[in-house]
Amino acid sequence: MIGIVQRYGFTLVLIAAILGVYIYYPGDDSDIRLLTGYTMGTTYRLQYVPSPGSLTSTRIADDVSALLDRLDRGVFSTYAEQSELSRLNRSPIGQPARVSRELLEVLMLAEEISELTGGAFDVTVGPLVNLWGFGPDAGRDQVPSAGQIQNAMSRVGYQRLKINPEQASITRETEVYIDLSGIAKGYVVDQVALYFDSIGVDSYFLEIGGELKISGFKPDGNTWIPAVERPVDGAPEVFAILDSRGEQLAIAGSGDYRNFFEADGIRYSHEIDPRTGAPVLHDLAAVYVIDSQAARADALATAFMVLGYQSGLDLALRNELAVYFIVREGGDLQSHPTGEFARYIQDRETLP
């Protein structure tokens, strides 16, 4: 959900509450075009600066709408019965199913992130998410039995998907169910960015369900300035401000502070570890990733929430990733950015 609040009497803060990412913008931005709506089961807000000689605003709006509709209902939706993903989930076990370039690219990237993170990211985790009450039929407020967890885990495992890039086919080797909610929104953001790049628009701030892609400078010469939310219940509050530096970059995040239940004094997050079958119980409250690809940042953020701070930090340092960890320490929240992320953190006093 998107909300707008007035701060300091002149600055608007746009809040993408699903993720906790904000964008600051001062003054009159009448030269910035805005497209809003619903896709991928969430909202989108696309801001861009028209380039001289670029397509009309009406044509751009129509093109973007068609692109979002095709990728959502045509490819990635688990609710549209005739989407590619729904048909893949119904495909006969052991038989290769031909898929589009888009679905193949997402599943190949998902496999790459799964391997990189030792299985912390897994697009087949759906049965466990549903078992713990965080799926479409949310409502569970008690811990499932060991037998129930074991049964659900028998239907989980990214290794049970055989990807054949040459044949553009996917084979489900066992009865697994694929849910791309942890990577597809980011991929769609990337595709919208590619569209704007292709028509000569090089300044934009794109947001779908909290996944971001940013490029260029605003008409007044300032950079796009996102920020991250303090990961606590209650009214949204800025935790850190970033400066995109005019670069093209993607930002995605994940946290455990908005979707959880408590049982017997234990707090169970919606972040499920596909390796254990249970919600994570560590002290990592939220994590943000900056990358060149929104899809990759999207998947990595989910994986880091599963890994926890120390294991996640070790992985980030080994691979020189731009990651911002927010950790609960002694009743307070402490930030731990890697060096690659720290270069984008901005002092609030330097805001335009």
The pLDDT tens digits of the residues spanning 185-231 come to: 999 999 999 999 999 999 999 999 989 999 999 999 999 989 888 88
Nearest to 31 by CA among 253, 244, 217: 217
Q: Residue 184: is it exposed, middle or buried by C-beta count within 10 angstroms (0-12/13-18/19+)? A: buried
The pLDDT tens digits of the residues spanning 224-271 come to: 989 888 887 666 778 899 999 999 999 999 887 556 656 666 666 678
Whether residue 205 contacts residue 212, with contact meaning beta carbons closer than 8 Å, is answered with yes
User: For residue 192, what are the CA distances in angstroms to 36, 149, 186, 199, 204?
Assistant: 13, 38, 10, 11, 10
Mean pLDDT of 306-329: 96
What pLDDT is recorded for position 338?
97
CATH of domain 75-172: 1.10.3980.10
Mean residue pLDDT of the chain comes to: 86
Q: In this prediction, what percent of the chain has a pLDDT beyond 70?
A: 83
- Where do the H-state alpha helices sit in the chain? 57-69, 84-89, 101-116, 126-131, 146-153, 184-198, 294-307, 309-318, 339-342
Q: In this prediction, what percent of the chain has a pLDDT beyond 90?
A: 68
Burial 294-322 (b: 16+ CB within 10 A, else e): bbbbbbbbbbbbbbbbebbbebbeeeebb
User: Which range has the worst mean pLDDT, 97-111, 121-135, 288-302?
Assistant: 121-135
